[in-house]
Amino acid sequence: MKKIFTFLTVLAAITLSAQTNLVPNHSFENWADGKPVDWYVPNSAIIAQSSEAQDGSSSTSITAPDSGNTQISPLNDIAVEQGVTYVFSGWYLDNAPDARFRYWAQFRNADGDTGPNPLQMEGYSEDSPEWVFFTAEGMPNAGADVIRAGLRTYHNDNVGGGVVLMDNIMVYDKSTMSVADLNNFADQVKMNTVVTNKLTLQLPQRATVNIYTMEGRLVSSNRVDNGGSVDTSAMTKGIYVVKVTNGYATTTQKIVKK
């Protein structure tokens, strides 16, 4: 009989970002005078530091206004070069019926906004109890020399007051991404491959852990910290696929439920 090793290092192809993030204080860890350091916050904004974080120990929370939107962005617009593809990514948590989120980057110059671009969210966020990852990429519009990485919170049908959380915001040159070997993220993601009532994970950082049937049906989705567990007691016996992602790296592993 084959031996199934518990806490098997995940062996799967994995894509990691080795990019340079151009957003300062991207995880909203540093605050002063009630505002995140190095971020522009309008005087009308209702903003607060939240301990419910996707990355690190804090995030930013924005309360939706009753009309229009509240936008925050890095204090200084980020310099860009023509012909370079930039990625705009991050996480938001919108579980409030009276608030909606949109990422809204502008390629600008001294005369202002240079027009629509692919880094502007087409629709609005939908309520969810989980952190949601967003990512978009595009080249600067003709004549643009900076990007303004905006995060917007809107009312819902002229009713505001709901709160949206945002965290781990990034802008980077896509060409700086690389495929790292398995000795990086994969060597740090470990789990018991035979489970009964819980799946315990060793993680390099907080991550989203999804469990699927072999047919591809999602049966569990959780945000898990290093050393945390996922309740598997309600799962039927069989083989499942566990997908672990931190937004920039993803890996999968089969497990057996007994």
Please tell me the pTM assigned to this model.
0.70
Interval 199-237: pLDDT, tens: 999 998 888 899 999 999 999 999 898 899 999 999 999
Identify the CATH class of 31-176.
mainly beta
Q: What residue segments make up the domains of the chain, in order of their start?
A: 31-176, 181-257
Mean pLDDT for each 10-residue chunk of the chain (258 residues)?
Answer: 35 45 95 97 96 90 96 98 95 96 98 96 93 92 98 94 96 75 69 94 88 92 91 96 82 93
Q: What is the CATH code of the structural domain delimited by 181-257? A: 2.60.40.3080
Cα(225)–Cα(11) distance, integer angstroms: 20
Segment 169-182, tens digit of pLDDT: 999 998 876 554 34
